[in-house]
Structure 1
């Protein structure tokens, strides 16, 4: 009996101990422990994570504008967002906004050409400057187109070097017009010219440029007077004394202004016009034929 009582007592004690232990080791009591240092993903001194909440998209304020935007086509080119800053016309200069391409210097008219134009104005010449002419070995650096000399028209307008224009204008005013008044009691209305500037060689020469190719020559075909008289430069008839005298006068007086004066009777090429030019020759020689 004692043995049975002892066994029963031991079982009771064991059951009591297990019950006490089970009570002491419950989940609530274990989770209620507060160690000095937290263990796990959240350590001491680090604030606890803020729980995520759902926020509507329209409630999120827009991000501040980036002052510098990168062009999508070329990530290396920076485009300023400020509209006051102008982008260079040439995209290759985008990195150099203050770079300026220097303008080509304009060619300045020589002083002698400027003086020549003042001379034309004093003579009452109606003219205009035209673009430089350069074609092969021919050309005029500073050409002018003459449409009238005082009240005398030039038909068609003659393209000449300024020096030739001035020489011809002086001869017209001082010799041609006075001769017409003396012989015909009339002024000159129109000079009809057949050739001014023309890129060509002297006929029959071995490549010698004509003075026409420099704008230094003019061919006169006929002279129209204010009274209606139209004087053809071709050699007049035997009884055309007035016309013959007039043509001989203007032809001879031309030798005081030009270095070459050729006309009817010189050769077949000049049978229908007077040729005037200012070709420079040695020793001041003048070909007046």
Structure 2
């Protein structure tokens, strides 16, 4: 074979090698993707439900890197929200309430308890109930047991739906409050299994285990709500947590 022909043959092999490498890589990625798909969707998958993004949210599942994503997905879909809340809260589905385009409760439930804690019954949105259930299970009860050696058995609420404008330290504004669509709930305090009570108004600045519990409660709420305001935010919140299903992640 002539020298030029040899060079052309070797050059052709070199040109084909990247194509072959890409073909092998794509085949490997395809097999990997198929395996991952089977691992996620197979009825006998070894992946625990709490880690499986294809499985619906369960309040009792342990916290994992996909929990927050599952919560957002469930909170944004009424059927998924009601399914996740079933067995994790005391509630009843209600017909949507429409006072006006600005004031309404869509995805309405009557909530009277989450987990092991009762709540004075109120009408709110399913998304608020679901976030409350996650807060009670994964934040409030662990903090109460760690700091107070007791369980939370009642959560004191001071409202969810309220057709009103947003209040600020400078006065009312023209913007409607998130309470006007029941996208928020205000929490004033807690009662425990040993009979003691803690309120934000009386115990936020006292120091000790009670104040530490309230701060753990606030910090935990930030994991489950899209906006959390406490007495650290301003004087309007001196006596309650404002917990909001919508928002941009403010935690103060």
Aligned residues of 1:190 and 1:223 also touching (Cα < 8 A): yes
Give the total of aligned pairs.
Answer: 173
Q: TM-score, normalised by structure 2?
A: 0.64
Aligned residues of 1:191 and 1:224 also touching (Cα < 8 A): yes
Q: Partners in 2 of 1:129 and 1:238 — Cα distance?
A: 38
Report what 2:126 is aligned to.
Answer: 162
Larger radius of gyration: 1
Task: State the 1:239 CA deviation.
Answer: 5.2
Change (3 A) 1:276 1:237: closer
Q: TM-score, normalised by structure 1?
A: 0.57
Change (3 A) 1:237 1:269: closer
Q: Partners in 1 of 2:128 and 2:98 — Cα distance?
A: 18
Report what 2:227 is aligned to.
Answer: 260
Change (3 A) 1:153 1:238: closer
1:139-158 to structure 2, matched below 5 A, reads 139-155=104-120, 157-158=121-122
Aligned counterpart for 2:157 among listed residues 190, 193, 202: 193
Report what 1:202 is aligned to.
Answer: 166
Q: Partners in 1 of 2:205 and 2:179 — Cα distance?
A: 32
Q: Partners in 2 of 1:179 and 1:237 — Cα distance?
A: 15
**Greater relative CO, 1 or 2 (CA 8 Å, sep 6+):** 2
> What is the RMSD of the two structures over their aligned residues, measured on CA atoms?
1.8
Report what 1:277 is aligned to.
Answer: 244
Report what 1:288 is aligned to.
Answer: 251
Report what 1:128 is aligned to.
Answer: 92
Unaligned runs of 5+ in 1: 1-110
Secondary structure of the 1:199 match is: coil
Task: State the 1:237 CA deviation.
Answer: 7.0
Q: Partners in 2 of 1:286 and 1:194 — Cα distance?
A: 22
Change (3 A) 1:257 1:239: closer
Unaligned runs of 5+ in 2: 1-75
Task: State the 1:235 CA deviation.
Answer: 5.6
